[in-house]
Every structure is written in C-alpha cells, then in structure tokens.
C-alpha cells in the first residue's frame, strides 16, 4: 500500500476512514495541500457523502513540527467556541492517527474568505476600521467566557492567577535554550528583565488563543470576520497575553499607529474591555508586549534550527532570519523604553 503522503493514497485513506466514521460511502475530491503552517499539515477537499458535498479541512501532525502542540487542545478549542465565535465546525479527532499514520482532526471548511499576508501594506483597505472593531470585540468575547464551562477544560490545566506569566515565560525560555544555535544577547536580556519585573496577577483565567493576529483570521472582503483560525497554541492563562500578541508591531502591516493594521491601540483596548468585562492594566500590558517579542523570538529560533536541519523550507528560512531580526529590533526598543520608565 502506498504511504498516505501522496494525494491519491491519502484520498483513499480518507474515503475509508470517513466512510466508516459516517456510516456511508464517501468520495474524496480535489484534495489539495494548503501551503504554509508551522505545526500542522493542512489539506482542503470535498467529501461527497449521501449525495451531498461537504467542504472539509484536514489538519494532520507533520513528521517534524515548528511548534510542539497538542491536536486535542486545538480541536477542543474549536469545540469550545463553535457557535459563539466564528470558527469552523470541528468534526473528527484522531489522537492515535492510525488511519493516516499520524494524529489528525477534520473540520468543516469555510469558503469565500480572505486571509491577507502580514506582509501586505494595506490588507483591509476601506474596511480596516470595521474589521479591527470586530477583531477586538471577538477577542473580548473569548476572554469573557469561563473556561470551566468549556470542553477545553478537559485538556488544559489552569494556572494560578499569579503564575500565568511565569508558566508561559518558563515554557518559551526553555524553547530558546533548547533550539538556539548562536548567542542571542537581546532576547536573554529581555527574559532577565521580565523575571525581575513580573506583572500583576491576572484578573481572571481565560482561554488564550495563543496566536491571535493578522494572518490567522478570515474576512469576507466587506468588513466582516467569518473565521478565527489556527488555535494550535491555545491554553489557559492571562487574557492580556492575546491582546499584547495581537498588538505586536510584527503584525501591524508596517503601520505603527494602527494595531494589526486596523484601528488605534486605545480604541482596540476600549472595545476589548467592553466585551470582556475586564480592565487592561498598562504595566501588565507592557510586560506582555515584551513577552510577546520573546515568544516570537523563540518560534523563529526553532524556525532557524529546523531550516538548517531540513534544508529547503523557505518559510522556515524566512522566519528564522527576517522575522527573527525584526523581533530583535522590537525587543531592543521595548527594553530601552521600559528601563527609562523604571524597570530594574
């Protein structure tokens, strides 16, 4: 039997698996891999079952991944917010992955949307304001939900309010220590300053998307967000972590006056506070902004390592060089400002 890495072989495996799962004969058509993605292989296809055609997305673990994440967490994040936040409907989860050799999950496909590259200068045109207001309203609604009532509670541990910063900083610091191939004095200076100047305890524990930013949501081209995607780094923690990550200049489309290329930061915070019922402490936000740059540096450090090891993935090569250097500059600027403001 062919390995399920060729399109034809993978399609046959999917037909067998879905036919058994749905109890009806299934025909898979137009199976196509979607390029990009750091932690999953993503495929789109049509599944004909019972005379009807369903648009479907397959997310399968790669042989080697940039970000070590749990597909069960991602699947349950979709389960947690389907119906209350625009996300695809989760359909099937296989944690063992025998049918396709590696763990995977399958979800409905949302067609007709746009996911602009973060490299676009003006990705939203006249709709930037409308998209920004909806982007931060949705993020506020995510933060408002009580994780104890959501499916994701079954696979994510909730840290203590005072430990949110420490848990996530420890995790990403360890990634840098594990994967760096050369001295990185700026990020290590940032980590030392973050540990010396911890933020106030989180106001509440929320579901943190983990990668909420430009490039990870789909809009309809007329100012409406139709899907929030890529929940592979979802976890429980301080909701300000998501806000700071979305504010990172790397996702600003080269416009420092508008977060995520949409609206001014103050307007985004006001919308988020209204929807979440929470308040943004400026000093905590400053801590999480610097942390975001450290987290980005950790991801790009792993990119560089994987590029050198694998040789030919240009996405890894680009993120391991250009984006890494941009985050070095972002970190250096933030550090200088925070020290001027009294950080030890």
* pLDDT at position 43: 93
CA–CA dist 96, 299 (Å, integer) = 26
Sign of the C-alpha dihedral, residues 255, 261, 263, 268? negative
- With 0-12 CB in 10 A as exposed, 13-18 as middle and 19+ as buried, what is 208? buried
Check residue 284 and give left, alpha or beta (phi > 0: left; psi -120 to 50: alpha): alpha
Model confidence over 112-129: pLDDT tens digits? 899 888 888 888 999 999
Whose structure tokens read 């996300």?
A: 87
For the segment 240-250, the average pLDDT, to the nearest whole number, is 97
- Which pair of tokens denotes residue 187? 């990020």
Whose structure tokens read 């009806």?
A: 24
Count of CB atoms within 10 A of residue 336's CB?
10
Of 204 and 51, the one with more pLDDT: 204
Helix H or strand E encompassing 28: strand 26-34
* pLDDT at position 1: 43
Model confidence over 317-332: pLDDT tens digits? 888 888 999 999 999 9
The pLDDT confidence band at residue 96, using thresholds 50, 70 and 90, is: confident
Helices (H) and strands (E) in the chain — how many of each?
Answer: 10, 9
Specify the pairing of strand 26-34 against strand 206-208: unpaired
Range of lowest pLDDT (81-95, 112-126, 129-143, 281-295): 112-126
Q: Which percentage of the chain shows pLDDT scores above 90? A: 75
The pLDDT confidence band at residue 2, using thresholds 50, 70 and 90, is: very low
DSSP 90-112: EEEEESS-GGGSS-EEEEE---S
Among 79, 207, 90, 89, smallest CA distance to 148 is for 207
Q: Which percentage of the chain shows pLDDT scores above 70? A: 94
* pLDDT at position 38: 54
CA–CA dist 201, 205 (Å, integer) = 10
Model confidence over 144-198: pLDDT tens digits? 999 999 999 999 999 999 999 999 999 999 999 999 999 999 999 999 999 999 9
Name, in order, each residue with C-beta under 8 angstroms of 29's C-beta and a sequence gap of 6 or more.
45, 46, 47, 48, 53
* pLDDT at position 45: 95
């Amino acid at each position: 039997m062919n390995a399920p890495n060729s399109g034809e072989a993978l399609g046959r495996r999917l037909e067998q698996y879905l036919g058994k799962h749905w109890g009806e004969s299934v025909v898979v058509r137009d199976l196509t891999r979607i390029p990009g993605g750091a932690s999953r292989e993503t495929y789109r296809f049509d599944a004909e079952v019972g005379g009807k055609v369903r648009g479907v997305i397959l997310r399968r673990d790669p042989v080697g991944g940039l970000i070590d994440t749990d597909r069960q967490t991602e699947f349950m994040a979709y389960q947690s917010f389907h119906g209350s936040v625009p996300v695809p409907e989760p359909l099937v989860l296989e944690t063992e992955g025998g049918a396709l050799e590696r763990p995977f999950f399958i979800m409905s496909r949302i067609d007709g949307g746009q996911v602009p590259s973060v490299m676009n200068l003006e990705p939203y045109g006249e709709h930037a304001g409308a998209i920004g207001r909806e982007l931060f309203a949705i993020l506020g609604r995510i933060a408002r939900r009580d994780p104890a009532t959501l499916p994701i509670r079954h696979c994510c541990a909730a840290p203590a309010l005072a430990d949110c910063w420490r848990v996530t900083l420890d995790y990403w610091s360890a990634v840098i220590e594990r994967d760096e191939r050369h001295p990185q004095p700026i990020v290590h200076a940032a980590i030392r300053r973050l540990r010396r100047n911890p933020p106030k305890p989180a106001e509440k524990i929320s579901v943190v998307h983990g990668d909420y930013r430009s490039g990870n949501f789909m809009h309809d081209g007329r100012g409406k967000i139709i899907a929030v995607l890529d929940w592979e780094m979802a976890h429980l923690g301080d909701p300000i972590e998501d806000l700071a990550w979305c504010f990172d200049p790397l996702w600003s489309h080269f416009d420092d006056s508008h977060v995520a290329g949409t609206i001014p930061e103050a307007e985004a915070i006001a919308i988020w506070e209204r929807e979440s019922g929470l308040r943004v402490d400026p000093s905590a936000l400053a801590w999480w902004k610097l942390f975001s740059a450290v987290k980005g540096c950790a991801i790009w450090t792993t990119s560089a390592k994987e590029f050198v090891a694998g040789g030919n993935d240009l996405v890894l090569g680009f993120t391991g060089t250009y984006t890494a250097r941009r985050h070095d500059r972002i970190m250096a600027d933030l550090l200088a400002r925070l020290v001027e403001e009294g950080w030890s």
